[in-house]
Amino acid sequence: MTAITASMVKELRDRTGLAMMECKKALTEANGDVEVAIDNLRKSGQAKAAKKAGNIAADGAITIVQEGNKAVVLEVNCQTDFVAKDENFSNFSNRVAQVILETGTVDVAQLAELKYDETQTIEEARIALVQKIGENIQLRRAKIIEGENLAVYKHGLKIGVIVSYTGQADTGKGLAMHIAAFNPVAARAEDVPAELVAKEKEIAEAKAIESGKPANIVEKMVTGSVEKYLNEVVLERQMYVIDNDKKVADVLKSTATTVVEFARFEVGEGIEKKAELSFAEEVAAAQAAGNK
């Protein structure tokens, strides 16, 4: 049995991008032959991706690509912020966003079957990236926004906004920044999904009835609660992030601007995350694993 040296592990790690322990294991199985180890890792790519698929991918990055009057916002998830900043991860995300823009396909299942490049599909490229990086990577969602004027804004890697609007071009950037900060549900009250309003009304009614007030007072309490909710989630009713003395509606009116449509993606929203281990717990877990 060939002894596995640190230099051999480093070489395999540099050539594959895999974690140190995975490289050591692959070299052990290949009896120290780096080329055989690489071949084996390539062959096991599908199995590795399947194994990683059980890991919760709640981190990641938002990618926005725009061409003319069309833009796409895409969320790709991974497990850690470290990988979200990796160049291989960002290159993959940018290429997928470009494919979406070119084909108009936003369904992630259909996207997986499209060509990533001349040699592989998007799903094959994803599997290869999982093998290289060592984390579960998933395409989560995408949306295309088109319009006369488009404004895009990204807050780091985690929040991305596209706004389609008519009116003054210089108003769009401010609106996109505001949407990133305040996360409105809809531009106008009538556009808020009926199920959200119904849910808020149900909660308000339950609280009002518990107060023991007369029916006419309960009705007013419910109406007031629903109005308060709409003031919080409707874009036009929110206080403008750039000028807190004005509502967004005031800015839209003074600039003759109309918001046609917008999309706001935030990494991991709605994904249930596992409780994180503290650093001390991670060290203890690693030691325990090493002693087995």
Residue (of 193, 195, 182, 191) closest to 247 by Cα position: 182
- What is the model's pTM? 0.74
Mean pLDDT of the 224-244 span: 95
Report pLDDT digits (tens) over 82-131: 999 999 999 999 999 999 999 999 999 999 999 999 999 999 999 999 88
Q: Domain boundaries in the chain?
A: 6-43, 56-146, 189-258
**Is 42 exposed, middle or buried, given 0-12, 13-18 or 19+ CB atoms closer than 10 A?**
exposed
Tokens of 170: 């210089």
Min mean pLDDT across 25-29, 237-241, 284-288 is at 284-288
Report pLDDT digits (tens) over 33-64: 888 887 777 666 544 554 555 566 779 999 99
**131, 45 Cβ separation under 8 angstroms:** yes
Q: Domain 56-146, what fold?
A: Tetrahydropterin Synthase; Chain A (3.30.479)
Residue (of 133, 20, 140) closest to 85 by Cα position: 133
Q: In what order do the strands lie in the sheet with 159-166?
A: 149-155, 159-166, 258-266
Share the mean pLDDT of the chain.
87
What φ, ψ does residue 14 adopt, rounded to 5°? -65, -35
CATH class of 6-43: mainly alpha
> Which residues, in sequence order, are bridge partners of residue 77?
60, 138
Report pLDDT digits (tens) over 171-198: 999 999 999 999 999 999 999 999 999 9
- Predicted confidence at residue 46, as pLDDT, reads 44
- Predicted confidence at residue 47, as pLDDT, reads 43
Tokens of 291: 């002693």
**237, 230 Cβ separation under 8 angstroms:** yes
Local structure of 256: helix, strand or coil: coil
Q: In what order do the strands lie in the sheet with 59-67?
A: 59-67, 70-78, 138-146
